Amino acid sequence: MTAAIRRDAGSRADQAHSRIVALIESGDVAEGGRLPTENEFIARLGLSRSSIREALVRLRAEGRIVSRRGAGTWLSRPASFELVRLSPIGSPRELLEWQELRVALESEVVALAAERRSEEDLAAMAEAQRLLVARLAAGAYAEAEDAAFHRALAAGAHNRRLLDAIAALTAHIFAWIGMTRDRAILTPAERREIVEAEHAAIVRAIAARRPDEARAALRRHLLNGRARMLGAVGGAAPG
């Protein structure tokens, strides 16, 4: 599959995501209510099944919806993402600008997690990391699993507003990994090696209740990715 085809597929998934979010925020689906089926979304939105499925994966990663085996997909709670609403990401520069927000916000979130985390939080982080590494080992880019890991880190801070903000940045994670894939910056195997080392360093610092180390490990993880992206796009940092 060429990069142009992948970008086109990504744009259709973005369109599906935006239109399903609009449906949710319109109030057409009540809190805890059941969403239309995939077939109903296809008929209603005129988009492909693969685009609808990718959009639903992203919505689950954001925490907006939950799937119940044999019972369909449901709205998890009123999802107001006004705290952090991403503008459209249409260029590497815009992607890097949003990544600066992630660095600033998430580094402080993991520092709080190091102070407040419970043993249950650590177990959730470890499980999210296990699922992410398994998907990477299978050759997938694992956008949803990566987003779930970062949400598990944020959950350890025990601040609902911060967790909402990190969940709202899920679209950035999908866009970032999509550009990494399309520009062949990293293979899944290379991503796995990096994730195993850098994510583990973040979790170790949180487990040891060392906020400064957690903050530094998170910044190192995100800024290493930034350096790779800048090298691939051949552009200067925003500013």
Output the tens digit of pLDDT for each of the chain's 239 residues.
444 444 454 578 778 888 888 887 777 777 778 888 899 999 988 889 988 988 888 888 777 788 877 778 888 765 444 445 555 556 777 788 888 989 999 999 999 999 999 999 999 999 999 999 999 999 888 888 988 999 999 999 999 889 988 888 887 787 788 888 888 888 888 989 999 999 999 999 999 999 999 999 999 999 998 898 888 876 655 55
Domain ranges of the chain: 3-75, 92-233
Token representation of residue 115? 């102070």
229 contacts: CB under 8 Å, gap ≥ 6? 92, 95, 96, 99, 176, 179, 180, 185
Q: Which CATH number fits domain 3-75: 1.10.10.10, 2.60.40.420, 3.30.428.10, 3.20.20.140?
A: 1.10.10.10
For residue 154, give the amino acid letter.
Answer: A
Name the strand (E) or helix (H) holding 67.
strand 65-68
- Would strands 72-75 and 65-68 be described as parallel, antiparallel, or unpaired? antiparallel
Q: Which CATH number fits domain 92-233: 1.20.1330.10, 3.40.50.2000, 3.40.1010.20, 1.20.120.530?
A: 1.20.120.530
Residues 6+ positions from 82 with CB-CB distance below 8 Å: none
What CA–CA distance (Å, rounded) separates 190 from 69?
Answer: 33
Q: Are 166 and 154 in contact (CB under 8 A)?
A: yes
Say what the pTM is.
0.72
